[in-house]
Every structure is written in C-alpha cells, then in structure tokens.
Chain A
Amino acid sequence: MQTFFIIAILVLGFLITFQIAKASEYVAVLRGEEQTRKQSNKINAFLMLLFLIVGLIGVYYCNEKLNGKILGEPASDHGVLIDNMIKITLVITLVVFFITQILLFWFAFRYQESDKRKAYYYPHNNNLEIIWTTIPALALSVLIGFGLYYWFKITGPAPKDAMVVEVVGSQFKWEYRYPGKDGILGKKYFKYIDETRNNPLGQIWEDSANHDDIYITGEDLYLVVNKPVKMIINAKDVVHDVGLVHFRMKMDAVPGMPTTMWFTPTKTTKQMREETGNANFVYEISCDQMCGRGHTSMRGTIQVVTQEEFDAWLASKKPQYLRANPDKDPSVKKDSSNVKDIAAVMTN
C-alpha cells in the first residue's frame, strides 16, 4: 500500500513539474527567449552561490553529527601511525578542497553573464602552470614521505618476541591456531583436511611441531596486551580478508598463498569497555573481501587480555593432535581414572 502511495505521489509530482516546464517554455517564446534566458541565468548564478554556502554549512553539520561515530582512538601501535597519516592528509586536502570549491562556485556566481562585461581573452600563462604544478608536487612529496615512512614501519619484519597465531578464513567462518610451547606452527597440506576426523586445517600429524598446536574456532581469539602479535593468514576456499577496525589493520586471506601482518594491541578489552562506555564492547574481525552469500556475517571476535589471563586461557585448551588421535591422549586412555580427574578439577 505504502509503496503505491509513494509511486502515486512521485508520478503526480512529475506530471505537475512537467506541465510547469512545458508552460515555461511557451512563456519563454512569448516573452522573447533572450529575456527568459537572462532571467534563468540570474537564478542559476544565485543558486551556485547558495549551493556553496549551504554546502559549506552542510560539511560542518555532517562532521558534527558523524565525527563521534568513527571509532575513536586506535587500539594498536600501528593504528596510531595510520590515524596520524589520515590527519596529515586531511589537513592538506581540506585546505585544497575549500580553496578550489569556493573559487569554483564563487567564480560561477561572480562572472555570470552581464551585458556590461566582456569576457577576458586569456588563453595561457606558463608561469601559472608552473606554479600549480610545483605546489601540488611539493604537497604530495610531504604526503608520500610520511606515508612511506609509516608504511615501512608497519610492513617491516615483526619483532622477534612477537607471538604467532594463524588465522584461516573459509566460507563463512574464522579458524585460529596457536603454535603451542614450541612456538612453531606445524606443517599442513590442504588434501589432509578432514572435518570428520578432527583435522579441519589439514595438519600433518607426522610433523611433531603439530603435536602441541592449539586449534580454535567459534570462540574468541585471545591476544596479549602490549605484546606484538604476528598473524599468519590464509584461506581454504576463496579470498577473504582479516579486517581489524580497532587496530586499523587489514590483510587478505588468499588460498594457496599465506600472508602475514603484525601489530601490538595496546588496550585490553576491559579497558576499551570502560573507554567506550559500552559494556558489550568486543574487538571484531570483519571479513573485508567479498566471499559469497555469508560475507556480511563472517564475524570473528577478539579478547585482548593480560599475559596471565592469556596463559590461563591457553592452558585450558587441548592440542588438536589429541582430539584427532584420541589414542595418543593420556586423559582419554585411562578410562577408569575419569572420575578422579573430574574430582581433581573440582577441588582446584
């Protein structure tokens, strides 16, 4: 019903506009086209000026309304660099924006057709061309300079003490793997992937580096505050992308080609909850590369915690090796001692 209403109004509005437009054409012919043209010229020139003024106010108003909604302080060291770069670029581009837009619409208004003025024949001036080639070149050099300095800092090698975690994307979920005590992610091969036998990543069990690797999915990824983390990123099926808005980081997950990125989270989830005043705050992983039907909901969550909390959490996880090979799992073998185990946990 509502739809029809809207369509009816649109059609009606259109018909009215059209009648007016047709009538004004007849009037133009009657009153002399020159006369009418001059009048509409004045109106349009005025609208140019109006557009400029209202537009500038609009830019301000829009900023007032929306500026508070764009995430606030970054939560990583690299995020600070990126936000700095945005600020530097913003200053330079805004200056150019205001100057050029104001000139454009002001000239349009100021130099509207008038019988009193003759257009000024001014075909070229090489000095001017040189000036406005050089100034942008200088401004851009500044931007390139800062940009590349930050870029190499961000993409440079990760610190030696960085913690490593693997992030794997597939339609439409995120899976993670920690290297365990040995600090090495065991080898894997996609043909060994077998969900029914508890091997969702295709880990090669013959590689002993795999025996202590911890696999996680469907729950929070844990990171340690102020400890650099290096993510090894890949995908199983199509291209995905690990997007971390609060850390301002992003890297594609490409099947067949592992990528990496590193950063240092600087605020725990708890801190962020206080800062944002949002008790439900979580860090989110968004998939930023179109990957099919479920792209919109390919969401992961991250907890940034202290080292102690992290250690305790990790200790509660069982290596995937033991899940896939229950015969190697000491806690499963001793069937009769199960009761005792539970009792032990309870007293702890």
Chain B
Amino acid sequence: MNTVHAETMSVAHDVHDHSRHGHHKESFLTKYIFSQDHKTIGKQFLITGMIWAIIGGLFSVLFRLQLGYPDETFPILETFFGKWAKGGRIQPEFYYALITIHGTVLVFFVLTAGLSGTFANILIPLQIGARDMASPFLNMLSYWFFFLASVVMLSSIFISTGPAATGWTMYPPLSALPLASEGSKLGADLWLISMALFIVSSLLGGLNYITTVLNMRTKGMSMTRLPLTVWAMFFTAVLGVLSFPVLLSGAILLLFDRNLGTSFYLDQIYINGVVLPNEGGSAILYQHLFWFLGHPEVYIILLPAMGMVSEILSVNSRKPIFGYTAMLGSMFAICVLAFLVWAHHMFVTGLNPFLGAIFVLLTLLIAIPSAVKVFNWLTTIWRGNIRFTPAMLFAIGFVSLFISGGLTGIFLGNSTIDIHLHDTMFVVAHFHIVMGVASMFGMFAGIYHWFPKMYGRYMNTTLAYIHFWVTLVGAYLIFWPMHYQGLAGMPRRYLDKSGWVSFSQFGELDKMITVVSIVVFAVQLMFVFNFFYSIFKGRKVTNPNPWGANTLEWTTPINPGHGNWPGEIPEVHRWPYDYGKDGRDFIPQTEPISPKESVTHKTEVKPA
C-alpha cells in the first residue's frame, strides 16, 4: 500500500517539476548555501565534518606531543597559544581543553553529523528511489542547527577562560562548578548550548530519515529489498531519536545547576575553601542520563559505517552480501541491546553489584550479533572476485578493526576485569579502534565509493592507496600497544607520568605513538587535499555505473540534478545483491525477474 502511495506522490511531484522547468533557475544562495537538495545538504555535512576532523585531529597531535615528550618545550606552541602553552609547555588546563574538544568534536560533529548526516542524506533518497527527503526544509534546518552548534563550539575555543575541559563526558560536579576548573566557567555553558543545538539538528535529521525510509520508497522497493546501507541509516536514526532527548534533558539540568542554583547533580560540596549550599542531588544521576545516550551513540556512529561496509564488500567481491536477513536481525538486536547496557560505563561508581551483574550479562550479549556480522562479512568475501578499490580496502580494514576492538570490549564488559581496566588507557585503545578508527574507515570507504556520485569525478587512487595503508598500519601501531599501558593500570587523561612509580615505564612507547600519530595525521591532510583537488580536477566519470553496482543511485545521470531522476523514478524488481547470479556479473534492482532465472533468495518470487 505504502509504496504504491509513495509512487503516485512522486509521480505528481515529477509532473510538477516538469511544469516548473522553464523558470527553475536557482540562485547561488539557494543552490549551495540554503539548499534543500538532499545531496547538497549531505555535502555540507561532509565538508563541515571534515573541517572539524582537521581541528580535532590537530588537537590530538598537540596533546600527543605532550604525552610523547613531557619534558621538552616547544616554543612554537607559545607563539600560537600564549598563556595556554607558557614557556612552550602545554598547561594542564589547556591539555584538558584539548582532549575535551577533541573527543566532543570527533564523536558528535565528525562521526555523527559528518558520517550519518552525510550519508543518510546522500544515500537514502538515492537508494530508495525518492526525489528528496520527506521534508527538505527540515532537512535544511537540520544542517543549519548543526552549523550553529559548530559556531558556538568554535567560539568557545577563543574565550579567555578556554573551552570546556572536563572530558567529553562532562561529568558534574566538575563541569557544574566554575570554581572547579577554568574550563567549567563560560566554556562549559557554551559546550552545553552547542550540544543542545546539535541535538536539535540530529533529531530533525533523524525524524526526516525515518519518515523518508518509511514513506517515500519507490514502487517495488519493499523494506526487505532495501540496501543494507539504508537499513543501517534507518536504525541509526531510530537510535538517535530515542536517545538524544535523554542527553538533552541531562544537559539542560546541568545548565540549571550551573546557572539557576538548582541541585540536580550537586550534594554536600566543599570546594576551594567554600561550602556550597546545594544538597540532595546526585552526581551519578548525570552519568546515567549521559550514558543512556552515550552507549547508543557509539552505535549511532558505528551502524552507518557497518551499512556502507556491507554494501561495499558485496559490490567489490562481486557477490551478494551473505545472510541479508541475519545482518538485519543482528542490527536490530544491536539496537535493542544498545539501550540496555549503558551502566557498563559505571561499574565502579558504587553501582549496586547485582545491577552490575545484569549489565554484564546484557553487555556481553551484544558480542553475539557483532560476531554474526563479522562472520557474515567474512563469508561475503569468501570465494568472491575481489576488486581492491580504495573503498574496498577501507571496508576490509573496517572489519579488521571492528574485530580487534570488539574483542577488547569483551574484557571491559566483564565487570570483574573492568574494575582494573576502567578509566585506563585500555579503554582509550578499545574505543578508538572499535569506534574511532573503524567508523572513520567506514566513512572513508563511503567517500571513496560515492565520490563519483557526489562530484562526477574520481579521487586519485594512488593517493588513496597510500592513505589506506599508512592509516591502517598507523592505527594499529598507535592503539595496539596502548592496551599494554592500560593493562599496567595507567590511567587515561594523565598528561605526565614521570612522577609515578607504577606508570613511568612506557616513555619510549609514548614517543613512538606520538611520532606515528603525526605521520598518520599528515596522511589525513593528504586525503583532504585529494578530496578537494579531485572535486575540481579529478578524472571525470564516464560510466554512470562505475563500480557495476545494483543499487538505484547508479541509475541516475552522472551528475544528478535536484530531483535525482530526469524522467520517471525507476521501479524496483529485486533485492540489491544479485551479483554473480546465473553467471551474470550483476543484475540491477531495476531489472525485472525473468522467468528463467534461478530462485535463490527469498525476497525473489518465492522462497527456495
């Protein structure tokens, strides 16, 4: 019913479009800035995200410099940062500001907005066969709220007391009390306001994605014929819509505590010689609210990458994705469980041990759907005919990193072990591999794969290969040995270990990590260069379907205009993964099933 309805609607839209044809000139402003075209909005998310990635990455190089060379001075830092790097040394407040902004920006602005904002926007309408989002206007607002959030966050970096400096998790009372740290002055308010704007952006986006997927699919595109990318974006949006409001309320209560004298998170505090009047709040309440978003958030970051990787692995192995239904089922399981495990970040906060036990059980359950996904990916490339496009390389890298990081999650998810490993470098290594680097790999894979669709040109492949190999090797060199620091109990967020008997044995290692991270950062700059250079000077795409893929986005013209298909929207007759079927390299979704075709997949005519 739904799909038929959608079809008539889009046909109407189509006619309408054509009738306007003559006077359809868009000004620069409506075409590139306040655009309502989902493709342009996607690019806006992407480029804003890339700018943030460069800032966040640069910050990480700065604090790695401190970690690798705690005894040296870098006068150049003082030139740039003044009092924050007095005498060429990164001051503690500055160090904490750097890690806070690095974490916040990469988690939210790059890997949430930059990743799902970009690809949900570009891919959902194109892959389901819609001319645009359900509400192009809200979609545009979604970007501009993100832009506002970015402006607020950016401005907080330049105020005299500096930006928030409490870690990306913003735990009160540290974040609630201006007395507690420089970063808890104006910087913390700006951080909270920025996050509130960001959440509005992500809710507007998410609601739009959900509505679009449910209502705007073209004729024949049943839910079980959706590419896994679209499913992943759909689940991501559902997670976001259900969990971000909780963070919003947490952030608002924190703003109240900071500015209106409430005591939601404050109780019995004596700080800097001052007795505060607040009583009756709970600092732990904030942690519950934060992680109720925070854990789903890590899947909000990961799922789009998983979806794109599934698609790219299948296309470039010239084989169907293995276990489409199991992939869907595992994504669904992950989404449900993602809401039920948040307290594994709080095993040592004084949580009731019995409750802790339940969270151990639920947390480790997540490893099952994760394992299913890994085995399905492995089987997908098994006996394929693999083309190592840059996208494919990053997809394979993603699987490798996801395995490594998922396995360390099994250590942390077991509360017994987490007593020792909580808040150590082990956690840092775990989440950087499984979320940070893996999702970045997913994002790179997506960019390389859909760049021809976005800009009608290719990115330079030689640079792409260098980018991949250096980043993969670098990521492992940086984060693999870091687990050992964590096993030694070395706490995270320490900027100098020389005063400690227990943690000072890793000086050489820290230097090595710093050097590698500078190299890796430089290579990312090379990627950024490749990206912008290729927009203007890249090799032109001549084949509308350069990868030989089945999905609908490749049935549009090479440079699709607003509305995506010049003529009618194509009709869909099959699932998107008929690669190598009946001896044919690929069969696009738009091709009707011929009576002679073998029946092997259950979304085809009848079950096998």
Q: Which residues on A are within 8 Å of B, measured CB to CB?
A: 3, 10, 14, 17-18, 20-22, 24-25, 29, 37, 40-41, 44-45, 47-48, 51, 55, 58-59, 62, 66-67, 69-71, 78-79, 81-82, 85-86, 89, 92-93, 96-97, 100-101, 103-105, 107-108, 111-114, 117-125, 128-129, 132-133, 136-137, 140, 143-144, 146-148, 150-152, 154-156, 170-171, 190-191, 193, 195, 202, 236-239, 241, 243, 245-246, 248-252, 254-257, 259-260, 278, 280-282, 284, 286-297, 299
- A295 and B92 CA atoms in complex are apart in Å by 9
Q: Which B residues lie within 8 Å of A78 (CB)?
A: 419
Interface residues of B (CB under 8 A from A): 74, 76, 92-93, 96, 166-167, 171-174, 177, 180-182, 266-273, 275, 279, 281-284, 317-326, 348-350, 353, 356-357, 360-361, 364-365, 367-368, 371-372, 374-376, 378-379, 381-388, 393, 396, 399-400, 403-404, 407-408, 410-411, 414-417, 419-420, 422-424, 460-463, 465-466, 469, 472-473, 476, 480-481, 484, 487-489, 491, 493-497, 499-503, 505-506, 509, 522, 525-526, 529, 539, 577, 579-583, 600-601
Whether A147 and B326, one on each chain, are in contact in the complex, defined by CB atoms closer than 8 angstroms, is no
Q: Which of B319, B349, B368, B414 contacts A121 (CB 8 A)?
A: B319
**CB-CB nearest 4 A-B residue pairs:** A256-B267, A245-B489, A259-B350, A155-B353
| A1 shortest CB reach to chain B, Å | 10
Once the chains bind, are B600 and A47 in contact (CB under 8 Å)? no
Q: A175 to chain B: closest CB distance in Å?
A: 12
Closest to A54 in B: B473
Question: With A113-B387, A237-B270, A256-B283 known to touch, is A286 a contact of B489 (CB < 8 Å)?
Answer: yes
Tell me the complex Cα distance, A315–B465, Å.
Answer: 70
Cβ 8 A contact of A287, one of B323, B367, B491: B491
Please indicate the chain A residues that have their CB under 8 angstroms from the CB of B583 in the complex. Answer: 118
* B416 close to A85 (CB less than 8 A): yes
B271 touches A140 (CB 8 A): no
Q: A41-B388, A140-B367 are in contact. Are A22 and B319 (CB under 8 A)?
A: no
Indicate if the CB atoms of A47 and B580 lie closer than 8 Å.
Answer: no
Whether A51 contacts B416 by the Cβ 8 Å rule is: no
**Contact indicator A255/B460 (Cβ below 8 Å):** no
Q: Which residues of chain B are near A257, meaning CB under 8 Å? A: 267, 282-284, 350
Find the B residue at minimum CB distance from A6. Answer: B518
Residue pair B320, A245 in contact (C-beta under 8 Å): no
- Is A119 in contact with B502, judged by CB distance below 8 angstroms? no
Measured between beta carbons, the chain A residues less than 8 angstroms from B321 are 123
- Known contacts A62-B480, A144-B361, A238-B177; decide if A10 and B522 are in contact (CB<8 Å): yes
Q: A residues within 8 A CB of B420?
A: 79, 82, 86, 245, 248-250
Given known pairs A14-B526, A51-B473, A119-B317, the reply for A93 and B180 (CB within 8 Å) is no
Whether A254 contacts B350 by the Cβ 8 Å rule is yes
Contact check, B501 vs A104: say whether CB atoms are below 8 A apart. Answer: no
Q: Shortest beta-carbon distance, B416 to chain A, in Å?
A: 4
**Chain A contact residues, majority secondary structure:** helix
In the bound complex, what is the Cα–Cα distance between A296 and B322 (angstroms)?
Answer: 49
Residues of A within 8 A of B269 (CB): 190, 236-237, 255-256
Q: In the complex, which residues of chain B have a beta carbon less than 8 angstroms from the beta carbon of A241?
A: 348, 423
* B382–A237 touching, CB < 8 Å: no
Assembled-state Cα–Cα distance A17/B530 (Å): 11
Q: How many angstroms from the CA of A152 to the CA of B415 in the assembled complex?
A: 10
Q: How far is the CA of A86 from the CA of B461 in the complex (A)?
A: 43
The residue from A25, A45, A236, A249 contacting B419, defined by CB atoms under 8 A apart:
A249
Smallest beta-carbon distance A37→chain B, Å: 8
B581 touches A89 (CB 8 A): no
Minimum C-beta distance from A90 to chain B (A): 8
